[in-house]
Amino acid sequence: MNEPVKLLTIGGSDSGGAAGIQADLKTWTALGGYGMSVLTAVTAQNSLTVKDVAWMTPRFVQSQLEAVLSDYGAAAVKTGFLGRAELIISVSALLQKYKPINIVIDPVLVNHRQQPMFPDAVRQLYFCYLLPLADLVTPNVTEAAVLLNTSTLDSHGKVRGAAEWLHRRGARQVLIKGFREPEEVVDILFDGSTFTEFRQPLINTLNTHGSGDVLSAAICAYLARGDDMETAVAKAQQFTHRAIRRAANWRLGGGHGPLALFSKK
Ligand code: PXL
3-state secondary structure of 132: helix
Q: How far is the CA of 38 from the centre of ligand 1 (A)?
A: 14
Q: How far is the CA of 109 from the centre of ligand 1 (A)?
A: 9
Nearest ligand 1 atom to alpha carbon 209:
1
Which residue is closest in CA terms to ligand 1's atom 10? 111
Which residue is closest in CA terms to ligand 1's atom 4? 20
- Claim: this prediction has a pTM higher than 0.95: yes
DSSP 57: P
Provide the CA 241 distance to its chain's centre, in angstroms: 15
Half-sphere exposure (CA, 13 Å, Cβ side) for 186? 15
Q: How far is the CA of 110 from the centre of ligand 1 (A)?
A: 8
Ligand 1 pocket test, candidate residues 13, 37, 111, most atoms within 8 A of CB: 111
Write the CB contacts of 133 (distance below 8 Å, at least 6 apart in sequence). Answer: 92, 95, 96, 103, 105, 170
Nearest ligand 1 atom to alpha carbon 12:
12
CB 138 within 8 A of CB 215: yes
CA gap 97, 91 in Å, rounded = 10
Question: How many CB atoms are closer than 10 A to CB 206?
Answer: 15
CA distances for 58 relative to 42, 82, 92, 149, 188, angstroms? 14, 11, 11, 27, 33
Residues enclosing ligand 1, CB less than 6 A? 11-12, 14, 19-20, 43, 45, 50, 80-81, 108, 111-112, 210, 212-213
Nearest ligand 1 atom to alpha carbon 213:
1
Q: What is the pLDDT of residue 1?
A: 66
Residue 229 dihedral angles phi and psi, to the nearest 5°:
-60, -45
Which residue is closest in CA terms to ligand 1's atom 9? 111
Q: How far is the CA of 68 from the centre of ligand 1 (A)?
A: 22
Which residue is closest in CA terms to ligand 1's atom 5? 20
Exposure class string for 209-224: b at 16+ Cβ within 10 A, else e: bbbbbbbbbbbbbbbb
Ligand 1 pocket test, candidate residues 40, 43, 216, most atoms within 8 A of CB: 43
Q: What is the pLDDT of residue 206?
A: 96
CA gap 172, 184 in Å, rounded = 27
Exposure class string for 29-64: b at 16+ Cβ within 10 A, else e: ebbebbbbbbbbbbbebbbeebeebebbebeebbeb
Segments making up each domain of the chain, as ranges: 6-129+206-246
pLDDT tens for the chain, 265 residues long, are 689 999 999 999 999 999 999 999 999 999 999 999 999 999 999 999 999 999 999 999 999 999 999 999 999 999 999 999 999 999 999 999 999 999 999 999 998 778 899 999 999 999 999 999 999 999 999 999 999 999 889 999 999 999 999 999 999 999 999 999 999 999 999 999 999 999 999 999 999 999 999 999 999 999 999 999 999 999 999 999 999 999 999 999 999 999 999 987 6
- Say whether domain 6-129+206-246 belongs to CATH 3.90.1150.10: no
